[in-house]
Copies of this chain bind each other. A is one copy, B any other.
Amino acid sequence: MINYTNILRQHNLKATPQRLAITDILHVQGHITIESLYEVMVKKFSSISLATIYKNINLMLENSFIQEVKIPHAKSVYEITKESHSHLACEKCGEIQDIIIDLDNILNEVAKTNTFKVNSSDLVLSGICKNCQ
């Protein structure tokens, strides 16, 4: 288990128990919706407010400590920022997995044939995961 105290401070965020819980949950779960995060947090902090969840998620988004992943036909999930990667979204159980896919060829093609300058790519593959098959 990583200790996120210093990492939070590096992002100009005080290391409160609530924030440490959020980072731990994100670390363990990988991807989580606001709703699920709140449900898990309530178990540890019975009087936590949804406002606190939103404020912290928004602060962490602003300084790029975490990122939002928009999933077709489902709620957004949040994850700790890491190297660029794509996502697998199970249409049955809702599970989101990271997957490293090399998009260089594609990005090079776009660079050649288009005048559009690509800064980032977001790819989500929807389907059925191993467990649900």
Contact = CB atoms under 8 A, between A and B. Distances in A.
- Could you say how many copies of this chain the assembly holds? 2
Contacts of A109: 101
A126 B122 CA distance: 8
B122 A127 contact: no
Contact of A72 (B68, B72, B118, B128): B68
Point out which of A101, A105, A125, A128 has the most chain B C-beta atoms below 10 A from its C-beta.
A125
A112 to B, nearest CB: 12
Which of under 10, 10 to 19, 20 to 34, or 35 or more describes the interface residues of A?
20 to 34
Interface in A68-125: 68, 70-72, 88, 90-91, 97, 99, 101, 103, 105-107, 109-110, 114-125
Interface of A: 68, 70-72, 88, 90-91, 97, 99, 101, 103, 105-107, 109-110, 114-130, 133
17 contacts: A68-B72, A70-B71, A70-B72, A88-B116, A88-B118, A91-B119, A99-B110, A101-B109, A106-B106, A107-B125, A115-B129, A116-B125, A116-B129, A117-B128, A119-B127, A121-B123, A122-B122
